[in-house]
């Protein structure tokens, strides 16, 4: 038997660590290894990571940790019982090997071992609900696609991570991998009482996973009726709260076809095609697949334009009216969705290219992109159109966009 205690997202709170230690002792948990999945310290205090780890060392249990985004700038710390997995490499424990990735994602060569994978970020689309901003997307997935590839490489029995606080305290079984989000330990009530969560895992012939809430107790969920451990103020269990995040479908018999891109520059047309490198075993349902593909293609377009321009920025669709105002709407402060509803009923203004833009937007998903060759130079505009292979997209539309001063990037979305 191997017994693991896993926590993350301490965010430099010494009080949260003290509360964890008290809870472990009260429950009389026997632990072989403590695993910390990042965000241990604080970016405001380079010594806080060390303080957190030294506080935990009072348990006299070997502790393996990786860094998270809150640990940027933290001083390195290790001792006989405290090991940074990124620096140390894979850690062997009986027939199990524990692998950590946070600062490098190059997989280790591992064979004939049961792998426990530790990352700070989740895989894309798995218990990763939150907000993330990049130059090419603003979305509700905080997971990284590169971690999906790590899962495909290692085929771990367990993958533990944190970062996405909303999904902390959940386990998702998918295609023989148990995904465990252990965020976050530094959860406190307004009265200053710690209700942070952590995970206790027993690996024997079968794997037993227990999500504990500090200062929590067992009671019946008001929705499903199941008796589970919850913080004092909760009446609904975490599984019922985040039911949509646990919905899975079997996609292993699916295949992803190539997508194609036509870039209509002012001076030429470039046509490209690529088959996305996607691990279907890490995609939990069709909705996530569509979102994954869309973000994958946005990143592809971003990298494509970066070869031509120094700076590339995708504009959120709510900001589009500021750059391409609808000529029939005088009050641009109206919510974007309201403006679209008005466009649906509007007959259009004669010879207005921007009307063409909004008519296309009602049928297809669009993205507006600004590209710069230097920070003070003139911006070049691109309109990215996502469309199905069965939908029509005339050359007149491209000409209208060109008259507005925009290049067109036509993405033919692959069929699922």
Q: What is the mean pLDDT of residues 35-54?
A: 96
CA–CA gap between residue 273 and residue 128 (Å, rounded): 29
Three-state DSSP class for 370?
strand
> What is the spatial distance between Cα 401 and Cα 227, in angstroms, rounded to a whole number?
59
State yes or no: pLDDT of 403 exceeds 70: yes
The Cα 101–Cα 106 span in angstroms is 8
Cis peptide upstream of residue 147 (ω within 30 degrees of 0): no
Domain co-membership, 66 together with 208: yes
**pLDDT band at residue 239, thresholds of 50, 70 and 90?**
very high
Contact call for residues 115 and 154 (beta carbons, < 8 A): yes
Whether residue 374 sits in one domain with residue 236: no
Instruction: Answer yes or no: do 175 and 50 share one domain.
Output: yes
pLDDT, mean of residues 411-415: 81
Asked whether residue 359 carries a pLDDT value surpassing 90, the answer given is: no
Cα distances from 215 to residues 8, 20, 27, 209, 227, in angstroms, run 17, 10, 11, 19, 16
Over the stretch 273-326, which tens digit does the pLDDT of each residue have?
A: 888 888 899 999 999 998 998 888 889 999 999 998 999 999 877 788 888 887
Render 116-174 in DSSP notation, one character per residue: EEEESSPBTTSS-EEEEEETTEEEEE--BHHHHHHHHHH--SEEEE-S-GGGTTEEEEE
Phi, psi for 243 (deg, rounded to 5): -55, -40
How confident is the model at residue 25, as a pLDDT?
Answer: 96
Q: Are residues 193 and 265 in the same domain?
A: no
**Residue among 16, 66, 37 nearest 158 (CA):** 37
Domain's final residue, options 200, 219, 246: 246
Neighbour count for residue 53 (Cβ, 10 Å): 23
Residue 59, domain extent: 2-246
Same domain for 214 and 271, yes or no, is: no
Those residues whose C-beta lies under 8 Å from the C-beta of residue 225, and which sit 6 or more positions away, are none
Please state, for a pLDDT cut of 90, what percent of the chain lies above it.
60
Q: Alpha-carbon distance 235 to 183, whole Å?
A: 20
Number of domains the chain contains: 2
Q: What are phi and psi of 275, to 5 degrees?
A: -95, 120
Of 246, 270, 289, the last residue of a domain is 246
- pLDDT per position as a tens digit, 325-349: 877 776 666 777 777 777 777 776 6
For residues 58 and 201, membership in a common domain is answered with yes
254 assigned to some structural domain? no
Name the least confident of 77-86, 129-138, 146-155. Answer: 129-138
Q: What pLDDT band is residue 136 in, cutting at 50, 70 and 90?
A: low
Tokens 């921007």: give the residue. 354
At residue 106, does pLDDT exceed 90?
Answer: yes
Q: What are the respective helix, strand and coil percentages of the chain, to the nearest 5? A: 30, 30, 40
Please give the structure tokens belonging to residue 410: 């036509």
Which pLDDT score, from 0 to 100, does residue 256 have?
Answer: 82
**Are residues 122 and 216 part of one domain?**
yes
Same domain as 114, residue 78 = yes
pLDDT in tens, 200-212: 999 999 999 999 9
CB 384 within 8 A of CB 301: yes
DSSP state of 390: T
Residue 185 sits in the same domain as residue 272? no
What number is the average pLDDT over the span 358-372? 87
Note whether 179 and 228 are same-domain residues.
Answer: yes
Q: Residue 357: pLDDT above 90? A: no
Is residue 251 domain-resident? no
Structural domain includes residue 253: no
The answer to whether residues 331 and 376 belong to one domain is: yes
Domain boundary among 213, 246, 279: 246
Residue 216's contacts (CB-CB under 8 Å, 6 or more residues apart) are 195, 229, 230, 231, 232
Would you say 179 and 154 are in contact if contact means Cβ atoms under 8 Å apart? no
């Amino acid at each position: 038997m191997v017994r693991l205690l896993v926590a993350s997202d301490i965010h430099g709170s010494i009080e949260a660590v003290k509360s964890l230690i008290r809870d472990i002792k009260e429950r009389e948990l026997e632990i072989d290894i403590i695993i910390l999945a990042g965000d241990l310290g604080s970016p405001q205090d380079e010594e806080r990571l060390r303080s957190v780890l030294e506080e935990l060392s009072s348990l006299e249990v070997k502790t393996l940790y990786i860094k998270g985004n809150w640990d940027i700038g933290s001083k390195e710390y290790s001792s006989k019982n405290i090991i940074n997995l990124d620096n140390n490499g894979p850690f062997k424990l009986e027939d199990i090997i524990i692998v950590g990735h946070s600062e490098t994602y190059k997989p280790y060569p591992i064979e004939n071992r049961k792998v426990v994978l530790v990352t700070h970020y989740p895989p894309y689309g798995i218990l990763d609900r939150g907000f993330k901003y990049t130059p090419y997307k603003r979305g509700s997935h905080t997971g990284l696609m590169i971690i999906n590839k790590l899962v495909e490489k290692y085929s771990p029995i367990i993958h533990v991570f944190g970062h996405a606080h909303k999904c902390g305290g959940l386990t998702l079984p998918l295609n023989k991998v148990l995904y465990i989000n252990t965020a976050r330990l530094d959860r406190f009530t307004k009265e200053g009482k710690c209700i942070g969560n952590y995970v206790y895992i027993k690996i024997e012939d079968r794997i037993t996973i227990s999500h504990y809430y500090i200062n929590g107790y067992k009671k019946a969920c008001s929705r499903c009726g199941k008796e589970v451990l919850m913080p004092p103020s909760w009446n609904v269990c975490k599984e019922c709260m985040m039911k949509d995040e646990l919905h899975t479908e079997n996609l292993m018999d699916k295949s992803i076809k190539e997508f194609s891109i036509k870039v209509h520059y002012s001076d030429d047309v470039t046509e490209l095609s690529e088959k996305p490198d996607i691990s279907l075993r890490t995609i939990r349902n069709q909705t996530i697949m569509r979102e994954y593909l869309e973000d994958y293609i946005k990143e592809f377009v971003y990298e494509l334009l970066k070869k031509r321009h120094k700076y590339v920025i995708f504009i959120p669709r709510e900001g589009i009216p500021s750059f391409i105002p609808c000529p029939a709407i005088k009050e641009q402060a109206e919510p974007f969705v309201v403006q679209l509803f008005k466009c649906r009923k509007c007959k259009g203004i004669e010879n207005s290219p921007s009307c063409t833009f909004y008519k296309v937007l009602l049928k297809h998903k669009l993205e507006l992109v600004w590209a710069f060759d230097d920070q003070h130079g003139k911006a070049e505009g691109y309109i990215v159109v996502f469309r199905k292979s069965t939908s029509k997209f005339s050359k007149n539309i491209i000409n209208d966009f060109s008259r507005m001063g925009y290049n067109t990037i036509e993405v033919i979305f692959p069929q699922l």
